[in-house]
Chains A and B, each alone.
Chain A
Amino acid sequence: MASIDRLGPELILLIFAGIIILADLVVPRWRSGLVAASLLGVAGSIVWSVTLVARDMRGGAFDGALVVDDFSLFFSFLFAGIAALVILASIEYVDRFVRHQAEYYALILASTAGMMLLAATTDLIAIFIALELTGVCLYILVAFLKDVRSSEAGLKYLLLGALSTAVTLYGMAFLFGLSGSTNLTDIANVVAQANDDTRAALVMAMVLLAAGLGFKMAVVPFQMWVPDVYEGAPTPITAYLSVGSKAAGFAVVMRIFMEALDARFISGDWANMFAGIAAVSMTVGNLIALTQTNIKRMLGYSSIAQAGNFLVGLAAISAADGELALGASGVLFFLAAYAFTNLGAFIAIIAISNRTGSDEIGDYAGMSRRAPLLALGLTLCLVSLTGIPPTAGFIAKVYIFNAAVQSDLVWLVIVGVLNSVVSVYYYLRVVLQMYLEAPVSEERIAAGPALGLAMAIASAGVLFIGILPFPLLEAAEAAAQVFG
């Protein structure tokens, strides 16, 4: 039974997803019940994860297909938190749907389970299934509005997602061919003994995997879908994609690359590859973000630039000698800080656009007078995205750039800092717009209780991590020890 116990957090989410869909057939249109059930599912998942920690149930399950360790637990809590905030942020938005509200919440729970599995699975077959469980749920959620824009975004996301899955699979097929096993530990043993004959095939598998998973992480040159999908998708789903899907992408990349491809003679290659992608992602994302007029598209490009920042940590993982954990824990810390920050920004955007019906940055003029608290929260999050103290984003950037310096990646840090300076312009342009321009209308905007609560949690998280980063730092370092 230990195996089933270790699958508990994901299983609870999937069970509640099923319950929600079935309950909707029995009791149609019971809106508050749907929300309560989905939040209950997330809470149950968190309680189970806490139990796993409390009883120290770390270890493998299902014949090595799944593992519960500090890394997977870190992501279990992160994804559960993200799901809870996204559900809170969705309530008001989803109330406008005439039909299929139950499916909306059920799909969020199912995709959260998929993301948790992505961080916890240690077998190529299981990883592939987790990848698709997350992906297929998200394709449907992106197209959920079924209007012109949303369906176009969903179709584009699906076509590119399926393409990237095929590429990932091809890489997995070669890893399997080299090792004769789908288990990451077995693959690591084979890779450790690889010689120059097998090196070419190994590099090819590595590049295919990075290309396919680069889509999930949304890094250049696999970022084409990001702005379109972010603009067309329902805004709560955009928020979910920008933090959840991205974090899941990084989780699975760390799991595969740091567990299976960790051997010295190949890790240098992928560290260099990630360093290059990091520099290009930061630069391209920031430069295009400068020209955007739609705030969702702007945050889309900003998320590409932020993915570049995370990749700095991945590049620093292997370049360091003896300091292995610093880059990895930097990525984890940054992902958690970014989750609070970006969710906060999107929650403010949802609250504002629920009333104004517009995502244009021009329409945020004078928002400080129309919605003082929302404007303050949005400002806090944008300041954190820029990386200015006393926010979570500042600590995260300092930590990850410090890891890069220790790994002799000074050039990458210079690129990163220059890019941070560029990003000040487009993030703070929104703040200036809100505080200095005259409002387009005098109508007051107030967030509903659920959105207000979500905003308060996200803002508190941003400030708390910014001022007292140590609890999260310790958790991130413990999680990174798994690969030490």
Chain B
Amino acid sequence: MEVQLGHYLTVGVLLFSIGLYLALAKRNVVGILMGIELMFNAVSLTLIAFSRFVESPQPIAGHVFVVFVITVAAAEAAVALALAMVVYRNRGTIDIDQINLLRW
């Protein structure tokens, strides 16, 4: 069996769904961030698969996109961990259930 576009997309959907589930279900901030990272990776996989299989006027646009996604995700993770540190210093926990000072 040859690996086709559909296979990559299926893996992408699975990864994205697992990431989304983690992001919504995890209580620990770091766990949520890992879920979001997984979603970014699913997007990268999908983009790479498309740029490999879809005929395109800009053949490397998908690759360039992925490089930017990886870079920006790293920048975002740096800020996220810094903020998690600040919250931990203030509250002594990064459990999202206990970070509940602001609520209606």
Contacts and interface: CB of A to CB of B under 8 A. Distances in A.
Contacts of B56: 180-181
A148 B91 contact: yes
B80 A162 contact: yes
Interface in A131-157: 132, 135-136, 139-140, 143, 146-149, 151-156
Interface string B78-104: 011001101100110000100101111
A180 B47 CA distance: 10
B102 A152 contact: yes
A155 B83 contact: yes
Contacts of A182: 58, 61-62, 65
Interface stretch (A47-55, A74-82, A166-174): A166-174
B76 A128 contact: no
Contact of B87 (A152, A166, A177): A152
B98 to A, nearest CB: 10
A288 B39 CA distance: 32
Contacts of B86: 143, 146, 151, 154-155
Contacts of B87: 151-152, 155
A172 B103 CA distance: 33
Interface residues of B, number: 44
Nearest to A297: B104
A182 B42 CA distance: 18
A169 B69 contact: yes
Given A151-B86, A159-B29, A159-B36, A132 B72 contact: yes
A186 interface: yes
Interface string A172-209: 11101100111100100000000000000000000000
Interface string B50-70: 110011111001101100110
Contacts of A172: 43, 65
Given A166-B36, A170-B39, A176-B50, A149 B68 contact: no
Interface string A304-316: 0000000000000
B10 to A, nearest CB: 14
Q: Main secondary structure on chain B at its contact with chain A? A: helix
Given A125-B64, A152-B102, A177-B46, A140 B57 contact: no
Contact of B58 (A153, A170, A177, A183): A183
B43 A170 contact: yes
A232 interface: yes
A152 B80 contact: no
A146 B79 CA distance: 13
A186 B101 CA distance: 47
B104 A173 contact: no
A177 B54 contact: yes
Given A152-B102, A155-B87, A159-B29, A170 B76 contact: no
Contacts of B104: 227, 288, 291-292, 297
Contacts of A167: 39
B67 to A, nearest CB: 9
A297 B103 CA distance: 10
B74 to A, nearest CB: 11
Contacts of A232: 102
A158 B42 CA distance: 20
B37 to A, nearest CB: 9
B29 A155 contact: yes
A418 interface: no
A163 B55 contact: no
B76 A136 contact: yes
A170 B16 contact: yes
Residue among B29, B80, B102 with the highest chain A CB neighbour number at 10 A: B102
A77 to B, nearest CB: 28
18 contacts: A125-B65, A139-B83, A148-B91, A152-B87, A152-B91, A162-B36, A163-B20, A166-B36, A166-B40, A170-B16, A173-B47, A180-B50, A181-B56, A181-B57, A181-B58, A182-B61, A183-B58, A228-B103
Nearest first, the 8 closest Cβ-Cβ pairs linking A and B are A180-B56, A177-B50, A166-B39, A228-B102, A151-B86, A173-B46, A169-B43, A180-B54
Given A149-B101, A166-B16, A177-B50, 6 more contacts: A125-B64, A136-B75, A155-B86, A155-B99, A176-B54, A186-B57
Interface of A: 124-125, 128-129, 132, 135-136, 139-140, 143, 146-149, 151-156, 158-159, 162-163, 165-167, 169-170, 172-174, 176-177, 180-183, 186, 227-228, 231-232, 288, 291-292, 297
